[in-house]
Structure 1
Amino acid sequence: MIKVCKLSSVALAVTVSLLAGCGGGGGSSSTTPTTPTTPTTPTTPTTPETGEWEAGVYESQSNFIAKCASPRTGIDPFTGEPYPDTQGTAMDEKLWLRSWTNDTYLWYDEVPDNNPENFSVLGYFDQLKTTELTPSNTPKDNFHFSQATDEYNQLSQSGVSSGYGFDWEFVNNTPPRELVVRYTEDNSPAAQAGVPRGAKLTRVNGVDFVNDNTQSGVNLINAGLFPENAGTTVSFEFELQDGSTLSTEITSGDIVVSPVQNVKVLDTASGKMGYFQFNTFIRTAQEGLIGAFNQFVDENVTELVIDLRYNGGGLLALASQMSYMVAGPSQTNNATFETLRFNDKNPTRNPVTGSIIRPTPFYSNEIDYVEGVLTDAVLPSLSLTRVYVITTGATCSASEAVMNALSGIDVEVVQIGSTTCGKPYGFYPTDNCGETYFTIQFQGVNNKGFGDYADGFMPTTTPNFGFELPGCEVQDDFTKGLGDPEEGMLSAALQYSETGTCPVVATSVQPIEERASSHAQAESLLSIQTPDERKEALFLHNKINEPIISEPK
């Protein structure tokens, strides 16, 4: 049985806090509430007067927090506590968003102070962000979104989502559309239907997915791709890699996410090489990661490939644990996994939690993610001085934090694939009135103080800057299964391990300015949506960008 470490009250507070944050690779140095702290709820709800907007004047968040146009009632099933909501107005919700942004947003002084009367609540939140650009002329903040709180809690706390079990690659979102299967979740309806990696969607419920641009066709496509409920049966037609057609009916269900897949040990000329596909840093991934590394230790693995090509991020604590399992105790001893930097109003204190900012260490023990504490069970580790990481533009946030943290302790990170999404930032998912909001609140830096990779980590044979890593530019290969030694990216890693060279067939990735961010890809799906279909747009955003998950405590 795993025993909980006996920690002092100070140590316990630090430990819990470092589990709670999230992001690029996020984390925090204090306990993060899953719902904002609210004033005492009166026994008889009253309707407060509507707040008013005055340009440049920001009232305290506490004046508006949990004052909702449609307050929830009863017990929150995820916390077991009564909902904090009281009767309020849409203006109260918008004014809370405004003050909260001004207090905690990393670039608060770059946010336009527009009159909230001119927006819906969600529309107002959408524009509460910087409009500045990165040096490569891409939007500085591509990671600003919200999600219904019950949907967010279901995925973050249980690893369960609704759908078919597809993970999609949106190659082209306007006619002629191209939607390709990246992989399917284990034991999901999609996997049981035998839909392979690389299958291209051609028809949904009889509608031409590739070319149909009628309103009725768009509606049928959306209804098929994004069913409102489990138990919805939809007909799909795919073109497979060999040119053949696969027609199948698939019934949607509650999908249990499998973060760790395709664990294997490959025999190479230079020794045993471990490989695993890692899809998201959620709490349920800990067991799979430990199992994978135990296998690698048992089989005397001396090289390791971590496939993060579709991993959009997650828990800082889990990213720290995985980094420790790669590097081992000697290289991580007294080193910092990541330190957070907040806006210039808060140089020493976390504006979300109010606590003093402390570095996040490399966690060497298992974590009880329910209680938010370290246990006395030590993690397995390989003590490698080099690791291969497979990446694409969908590799984001906590995945990049692992790469940055290992580089910060001089573990050589060899990057195979294409430039990552560029998110050295993070946020505390914050609920208000049934919507969970994600707004950039901090930047993470490694043991050497480096965190400037807003345009992503880039593989190159001649690295000169901190965001350039040794490795090979290789396109994603949909003709082979993930974990197949002949799949393009894994094959390149194997060749680099043996010869130190990149494949001749490797092709250059698109220039940074031409790469669509995950957020931009999600927004562009509006081309096959009616303007009011926000739910589907958010769903797609979450599937592409894998929203950063934080653990409540």
Structure 2
Amino acid sequence: MAISSTNKFALGLINCSLLVLLSGCGGGSTMTDNNNSNGDGDTGNSINWTQGVFQPSSNFDQQCQALNEKHWLRSWSNETYLWYDEIVDRDPALTPAVSDYFNLLKTEQITDSGAKKDNFHSSLPTAQWEAQSQSGVTFGYGFKVKLISPSAPRQGVISYTEPNSPASNANLARGFEILEVDGVDFVNASTQAEVDTLNAGLFPTQTGKNTTFLFKDLNTDETREVTLTSQTISSKPVTNVKTLADGSVGYFQFNSHNAVAEKPLYDAFNNLKASNVTDLIIDIRYNGGGFLQMASQVAYMIAGAENTNGKIFERTIFNDQHPTFNPVTGQRLEPVMFTDEFLGFADNPALIPGTPLPTLNLERVYLLTTASTCSASEAIMNGLRGADVEVIQIGAGTCGKPYGFYATDNCDITYFSIQFTGENHKGFGEYADGFAPQNTTDNARLPVRVEGCAVADDFSHQLGDPEEAMLKAALNYRASGSCPVASSIASKQGFAPARFSDTPAVQDTRAATLAEQNKILPSQ
């Protein structure tokens, strides 16, 4: 059963750094906020605030003075935040910046494993969010970096490159380890100034930035100095579509559930169906998420009508103030079913919406995963498991994002605040510590164990190479049902695990990158 793709709303989970909480204030006040620096202040409106008393958020919607914006955020969070009753209610007038106030509107509780309950609260300019979610556009050089150890002694390696990008044109590829960025020692840099240079070089926020890198090829130990210029990068979400094992096994790399992925996914499944594959391996090790409806399409194309007919892909559950109606759309809550038709996510869809999707009619699927496998990608796993389709997981544990939200614009800023959790056909959705292969040895988290093998990410081979450790393990498991010795560390063939360090961390905090880890759902 398909759902209209009109008026798309965004739901997702985005990592962000936790800001220090400001002290709360009881009682009530009437206050004028005259801080107008950097466009983040108010023009002088006076608004009453009484702790625990909330006006409808519609009273402040698109009123773009700082105090009005903060009151909109306060009321909107109280109405829609999944854990609204765990937010400390603070007087908006006492926090000068809108962005700082938004970062206070979240729970500070922790999970059973000791992780932060809400690690996904964020915002970004609306124009940037729309560019990212609709077309996969980011600033960069065209390579993705896997930070194995973000603090000294650091380890970072190129995980893959985008076609026709500065990186691929410079013959960089998966398996190039970072040694220096603009003359700064990537491995051992210890000062904040040095790490600022590393972050600025690795993760540019605009086009035209020239950065000089020193890389080492892990396979040859040869070093190369390369200067790259950042540009607008359009990611290719589906690559390496092929058959393996004498043509009986289909494989493809799926990097993002963004709008432009729908047609390549349609083509990939059509090609594999024409090849009469009897098994499928989908490489989602770096897929942070995207359209939830697209995840249901992928699941349908794997399993087919007979295995999914009448079954729920994901049921959304909002806070206890909204048991029946969606607080964002106002419509009666209806589950997302397995979607059997082309929806036309892109502005100019390549196929007519309503075109039937191809199916492989499989009762099992092999998924290659890492900690970068998040959100909508995890929903594929959970949705198929709920429909009794066998999911075999090869790789490392996923990130753990069973929650979602509607990306909501106010005054040209899009806000991401957890609003619901999702459950499959069997009513299961508790995987805040992710899914992990059954023989995973890391006991620091409490993941849901899944049939399969814990295997390190092997940077000595290109993605799609049958000798790459994770893909090789999937093929061997299919043939013999046995796993190699468990190794869940992201590695060449055994990079050291991330170590504790008090040195500053290298990390990608670009809004567009954070926006990749989300779910997006058409209105119902």
Report the TM range for the smaller structure's normalisation.
0.7 to 0.9
Q: Is the 8 A contact 2:155 2:178 kept in 1?
A: yes
- Helix, strand or coil for the counterpart of 1:236? strand
2:318 — aligned with what? 342
Closer/same/farther in 2, CA of residues 376 and 219 from structure 1, 3 Å limit = closer
2:332 — aligned with what? 356
Query: Which string of whole-angstrom CA distances, capped at 9 and with x for unpartnered residues, describes residues 178-217 of structure 1?
Result: 2221111121111111112121211112222222334543
> In the alignment, is residue 121 of structure 1 matched against residue 91 of structure 2?
no
Gaps spanning 5+ residues in structure 2: where?
15-41, 441-445, 491-497
Q: Is the 8 A contact 1:18 1:317 kept in 2?
A: no
- Helix, strand or coil for the counterpart of 1:103? helix
- In the superposition, the TM-score normalised over structure 1's length comes to 0.81
Aligned partner of 1:410 among 384, 388, 394: 388
Closer/same/farther in 2, CA of residues 449 and 549 from structure 1, 3 Å limit = closer
Whichever residue aligns with residue 548 of structure 1, its letter is N
- Helix, strand or coil for the counterpart of 2:215? strand
Aligned partner of 2:364 among 386, 390, 400: 386
1:8 — aligned with what? none
| Aligned equivalents of 2:114, 2:429: Cα separation in 1 | 19
| Aligned equivalents of 1:107, 1:215: Cα separation in 2 | 35
2:82 — aligned with what? 106
Closer/same/farther in 2, CA of residues 237 and 115 from structure 1, 3 Å limit = same
Aligned partner of 1:476 among 457, 470, 486: 457
1:506 — aligned with what? 486
Aligned partner of 1:175 among 117, 129, 152: 152
1:467 — aligned with what? 448
1:294 — aligned with what? 270
Q: Is the 8 A contact 2:293 2:520 kept in 1?
A: no
- TM-aligned CA deviation for residue 114 of structure 1: 2.8
Between 338-347 and 152-161, the greater mean CA deviation after superposition = 152-161
Q: Is the 8 A contact 2:375 2:517 kept in 1?
A: no
Q: Is the 8 A contact 1:156 1:551 kept in 2?
A: no
Aligned counterparts, 1:118-197, within 5 A:
118=95, 120-197=97-174
Query: Which string of whole-angstrom CA distances, capped at 9 and with x for unpartnered residues, describes residues 436-462 of structure 1?
Result: 111111111111111111111121159
Closer/same/farther in 2, CA of residues 408 and 235 from structure 1, 3 Å limit = same
Q: Is the 8 A contact 1:19 1:317 kept in 2?
A: no
- TM-aligned CA deviation for residue 509 of structure 1: 6.0
Whichever residue aligns with residue 383 of structure 2, its letter is A
- TM-aligned CA deviation for residue 403 of structure 1: 0.5
- TM-aligned CA deviation for residue 371 of structure 1: 8.6
Closer/same/farther in 2, CA of residues 313 and 286 from structure 1, 3 Å limit = same
Whichever residue aligns with residue 411 of structure 1, its letter is V
| Aligned equivalents of 1:293, 1:451: Cα separation in 2 | 27
Closer/same/farther in 2, CA of residues 395 and 186 from structure 1, 3 Å limit = same
Q: Is the 8 A contact 2:395 2:488 kept in 1?
A: no
Closer/same/farther in 2, CA of residues 526 and 492 from structure 1, 3 Å limit = same
2:38 — aligned with what? none
- TM-aligned CA deviation for residue 497 of structure 1: 0.2
> In the alignment, is residue 15 of structure 1 matched against residue 4 of structure 2?
yes
Q: Is the 8 A contact 2:293 2:522 kept in 1?
A: no
Query: Which string of whole-angstrom CA distances, capped at 9 and with x for unpartnered residues, describes residues 74-132 of structure 1?
Result: xxxxxxxxxxxxxx2x2222221111111001111111223331352212212211111
- Helix, strand or coil for the counterpart of 1:381? coil
> In the alignment, is residue 49 of structure 1 matched against residue 51 of structure 2?
no
Q: Is the 8 A contact 2:133 2:516 kept in 1?
A: no
CA RMSD of aligned residues (A): 2.9
- TM-aligned CA deviation for residue 54 of structure 1: 2.5
2:26 — aligned with what? none
1:486 — aligned with what? 467
Closer/same/farther in 2, CA of residues 509 and 232 from structure 1, 3 Å limit = closer
| Aligned equivalents of 1:228, 1:542: Cα separation in 2 | 9
1:440 — aligned with what? 418
Identical counterparts, % of pairs: 48
- Helix, strand or coil for the counterpart of 1:57? coil
> In the alignment, is residue 368 of structure 1 matched against residue 339 of structure 2?
no
Closer/same/farther in 2, CA of residues 263 and 204 from structure 1, 3 Å limit = same
| Aligned equivalents of 1:243, 1:63: Cα separation in 2 | 62
- TM-aligned CA deviation for residue 526 of structure 1: 10
1:198 — aligned with what? 175
Query: Which string of whole-angstrom CA distances, capped at 9 and with x for unpartnered residues, describes residues 360-403 of structure 1?
Result: 11111111224999823111110000100111111111001111
- Helix, strand or coil for the counterpart of 1:281? coil
| Aligned equivalents of 2:521, 2:425: Cα separation in 1 | 24
Query: Which string of whole-angstrom CA distances, capped at 9 and with x for unpartnered residues, describes residues 515-545 of structure 1?
Result: xxxxx99xx999358xxxxxx8631x65367
| Aligned equivalents of 1:489, 1:537: Cα separation in 2 | 25
2:431 — aligned with what? 453
Whichever residue aligns with residue 129 of structure 1, its letter is K
| Aligned equivalents of 2:352, 2:515: Cα separation in 1 | 29
| Aligned equivalents of 1:415, 1:407: Cα separation in 2 | 12
2:300 — aligned with what? 324
- In the superposition, the TM-score normalised over structure 2's length comes to 0.85
- Helix, strand or coil for the counterpart of 2:148? strand
2:19 — aligned with what? none
> In the alignment, is residue 65 of structure 1 matched against residue 41 of structure 2?
no
Between 166-175 and 494-503, the greater mean CA deviation after superposition = 166-175
| Aligned equivalents of 1:245, 1:401: Cα separation in 2 | 40
| Aligned equivalents of 1:542, 1:317: Cα separation in 2 | 21
Gaps spanning 5+ residues in structure 1: where?
1-10, 26-45, 69-87, 511-519, 530-535
Whichever residue aligns with residue 481 of structure 1, its letter is Q
| Aligned equivalents of 1:439, 1:54: Cα separation in 2 | 23
Query: Which string of whole-angstrom CA distances, capped at 9 and with x for unpartnered residues, describes residues 285-322 of structure 1?
Result: 01111111111111111110111111111101111111
| Aligned equivalents of 2:243, 2:273: Cα separation in 1 | 11
| Aligned equivalents of 2:509, 2:193: Cα separation in 1 | 21
Whichever residue aligns with residue 234 of structure 2, its letter is V
Closer/same/farther in 2, CA of residues 341 and 259 from structure 1, 3 Å limit = same
1:207 — aligned with what? 184
Aligned partner of 2:67 among 83, 91, 112: 91
| Aligned equivalents of 1:383, 1:457: Cα separation in 2 | 24
Q: Is the 8 A contact 1:24 1:399 kept in 2?
A: no
Closer/same/farther in 2, CA of residues 19 and 389 from structure 1, 3 Å limit = farther
